[in-house]
Amino acid sequence: MIIDIHTHTFPAKIAAHALRTLSNNSHTRPFTDGTISGLKASMTESGVTCSIIQPVATKPEQVRRINDSAMKINAEGESTGIYSFGGIHPFFDDVRGELSRISEAGIKGVKIHPVYQGLNIDDSRYVEILKCAGELGLIVMIHAGWDIGFPGDDSALPVRIARALDMSGNVRVILAHMGGWRNWDEALRLFAGRVNVYVDTAFSLGRFTPNGDGYYPGCDECMMLRADEFADMVRAFGSERVIFGTDSPWMSQRECVKGIMSLPLSDDEKTNILCRNARDIALAV
């Protein structure tokens, strides 16, 4: 069993436009068409058993619609292998009420993305979300580190996330991109000892793929973590706190699975990453 905890899809009618815009902003190539059917085809090709969608509410008025969609996706999850976290926005008018609705519907967690939501993660509005999620037993997936599409935006850097967590009580979080995209030393320093912090592997191992517009002239600019660096991070965090994610459609699920399988890690460590951790915290009833 292989579980991908970090994927993205869009409604079919806007998927092509959304991918084109995001590809232009990030200068990277997508590997699916951005739809649920495209994700399912990728799963079949790669051997991924289950994918979890991480929706991003870029506007407060999107929140209820996103969560209604998540409920429908989850209702079909046993047959499709695709599930969804919920979404929340820091400027939504009833954070506690919506998080309670999410929890009562059986959704396991919510995704927040400070860069796309236009607010620093250590703002009191995010702290309220984290506190409430912790009280309800919801997991919070947080974009961590720089965002490739928004150079220079520091709203989700590890130091800010650590400050937010210090104010948020007992909440379990998954920090995307190995705790902080291209802030990996800082992520290790700040999060390696925090038992309620998990990290996902999305968009972190090896190289990302440019879209061919010439923005990245050399391969070195596309390099993320080397295999040895990545394995060292897994051992520093502990394999029981590292969860497989791809950021599909922005990385190939097939290549990401191969990347994890080729790491100098034990079979048990790889099982933790590819299956056991996500199953236990994000799919268990």
Classify residue 90 as left (phi > 0), alpha (psi -120 to 50) or beta: alpha
Residues 6+ apart with CB under 8 A from 43: 4, 49, 50, 51, 81, 82, 253
The β-bridge partners of 242 are 199
User: Structurally, how many domains does the chain consist of?
Assistant: 1
pLDDT tens string 219-264: 778 999 999 999 999 999 999 999 999 999 999 999 999 999 999 9
Domain coverage including residue 187: 3-283
What CATH code is carried by the domain that includes residue 64? 3.20.20.140
Across 25-34, 185-194, 210-219, least confident range: 210-219
The pLDDT value given to residue 98: 98
